[in-house]
Amino acid sequence: MKIKTIEQHILDQQRKFPGASGEFSGLLYDIALAAKMIAKQVNRAGLANILGSTDEINIQGEVVQKMDKYANELLINILTHGGKVCAIASEENENIVEIHEDYLVGKYAVSMDPLDGSSNIGANVSVGTIFSIHRKVGKGYRGSEEDCLQKGSHQACAGYVIYGSSTMLVYTTGTGVHGFTLDPSVGEFILSHENIHIPEPCKIYSVNEGNYNYWNEGTKKYVNYLKEVDKASVRPYTLRYIGSLVSDFHRNLLYGGIFLYPADHKKDLSKPEGKLRLLFEAAPIAFIAEQAGGYATTGTQRILDIEPEHLHQRVPLVVGNKTEVLRYEDFLRRG
């Protein structure tokens, strides 16, 4: 069996684009490095109360940080020092992180959710890092918000890392979706899932059904439809919901399924709103889904076509097997 590390895979991909400077490959490699460091900390998360809490010093003399803060600072640190990035937008920061004038500026803008689902971490539930990379479009030497506020269809790369029973990195650059599993004994991500395609038929649905009464009629009818008994099809579908987007999406990507976080009236009765963020969650997940043969929508618009208006914009997200997501759109149209 031929073993391929993520570094070899990135270099192979780079060779397909003669003239590529290697800057992009270096950026992906930096993200993989950060992922390995975050994985190590996440695995020790249960010890936080024993080794010290956020503002305490642990037995190694290090300040123990909350895991999401740690992941954010680590990624920013690695990315700003790498010389490949012009701006970083993070779910943890209100504004973009500019590159300090002492460091080189690169031609890529990174948007990220450093540790998605971190509210689950206390219960040992898998969490993830989501990232999205755009090419710099602004004219200035340094990056600006404009470089991050680009449509999902313009992404150069999107990926996630899942810190689960093993750590996996899954990414796409627009030429298929590839997954790597971390071998902790040697500290390398090894290619384990080449060219991932969402399998048919779609058998799983994932949604926080506790919000049912806050949904619109189309969404209610669609979820009811999934639960109907129909011997001629696979219905009723199996419900699987972890409440950690990367984990829910990853399982559906490998087994076939639809994930829904529709707009709801939970916060505001007059204005339905999605929960998930366009730049940090929905757009990168949508790019991966489409590259794996799936589809992602708000219900009325393809996620990858949305022009972002601001960094922390929230959108409804329905993603998974294409025929199933299109069926959801149809239910919404009919209301």
Q: Which does 252 bind (CB under 5 to 8 A by kind): ligand AHM, Mg ion, none?
A: none
The whole-angstrom separation of Cα 282 and Cα 263 is: 13
Q: Which does 118 bind (CB under 5 to 8 A by kind): ligand AHM, Mg ion, none?
A: ligand AHM
User: What is the contact mask toward ligand AHM in residues 68 to 107, using x (rule: CB under 6 A)?
Assistant: -----------------------x----------------
Please tell me whether residue 118 binds ligand AHM under the rule CB under 6 A: yes
Q: Which does 132 bind (CB under 5 to 8 A by kind): Mg ion, ligand AHM, none?
A: none
Please tell me whether residue 147 binds ligand AHM under the rule CB under 6 A: no
Up-side HSE of residue 181: CA atoms within 13 Å toward CB?
9
Q: Which does 244 bind (CB under 5 to 8 A by kind): Mg ion, ligand AHM, none?
A: ligand AHM
The whole-angstrom separation of Cα 170 and Cα 98 is: 27
The whole-angstrom separation of Cα 226 and Cα 217 is: 14
User: What number of chain residues touch Mg ion (CB under 5 A)?
Assistant: 2
Place of tokens 């710099």: 136
**Residue 134 CB-density burial (10 A; 0-12 exposed, 13-18 middle, 19+ buried):** buried
The whole-angstrom separation of Cα 86 and Cα 27 is: 12
Compute the least distance from the CB of residue 245 to Mg ion, in Å. 7
Please tell me whether residue 274 binds ligand AHM under the rule CB under 6 A: no
Q: How far is CA 74 from CA 54, 100, 184, in A?
A: 15, 16, 19
Contacts 24+ apart (CB under 8 A), 261-268: 261/207, 261/208, 261/316, 261/317, 261/318, 262/207, 262/215, 262/216, 262/219, 262/299, 262/316, 262/318, 263/215, 263/216, 263/298, 263/299, 263/316, 264/211, 264/214, 264/215, 265/214, 265/215, 266/211, 266/214
Please tell me whether residue 248 binds Mg ion under the rule CB under 5 A: no
Compute the least distance from the CB of residue 70 to ligand AHM, in Å. 15
When the beta carbons of 90 and 291 are compared against Mg ion, the nearer one is: 90
User: What single string gives the DSSP state of each residue in 78-138?
Assistant: HHHHSSSEEEEEETT-SSPEEPPTTS---SEEEEEEEEETGGGGGGT--EEEEEEEEE---
When the beta carbons of 203 and 251 are compared against Mg ion, the nearer one is: 251
Please tell me whether residue 201 binds ligand AHM under the rule CB under 6 A: no
Compute the least distance from the CB of residue 178 to ligand AHM, in Å. 22
Compute the least distance from the CB of residue 91 to Mg ion, in Å. 5
For residue 56, count other CB atoms closer than 10 A to its CB.
10
| Binds ligand AHM by CB under 6 A, chosen from 92, 116, 147, 329 | 116
User: What is the contact mask toward ligand AHM in residues 35 to 74, using x (rule: CB under 6 A)?
Assistant: ----------------------------------------
Q: Which does 184 bind (CB under 5 to 8 A by kind): ligand AHM, Mg ion, none?
A: none
| Binds Mg ion by CB under 5 A, chosen from 68, 113, 290, 329 | 113
Please tell me whether residue 116 binds Mg ion under the rule CB under 5 A: yes
CB under 5 A: which stretch of 2-10, 49-57, 108-116, 163-171 binds Mg ion? 108-116
When the beta carbons of 105 and 319 are compared against ligand AHM, the nearer one is: 319
CB under 6 A: which stretch of 94-102, 111-119, 183-191, 319-327 binds ligand AHM? 111-119
- Do 169 and 189 meet the contact criterion of CB atoms below 8 Å apart? yes
Region for 117 from its dihedrals, namely left if φ exceeds 0, alpha if ψ lies in -120 to 50, beta otherwise:
left
Applying CB under 6 A, which residues contact ligand AHM?
Answer: 91, 113, 116-119, 208, 243-245, 261, 275
Applying CB under 5 A, which residues contact Mg ion?
Answer: 113, 116
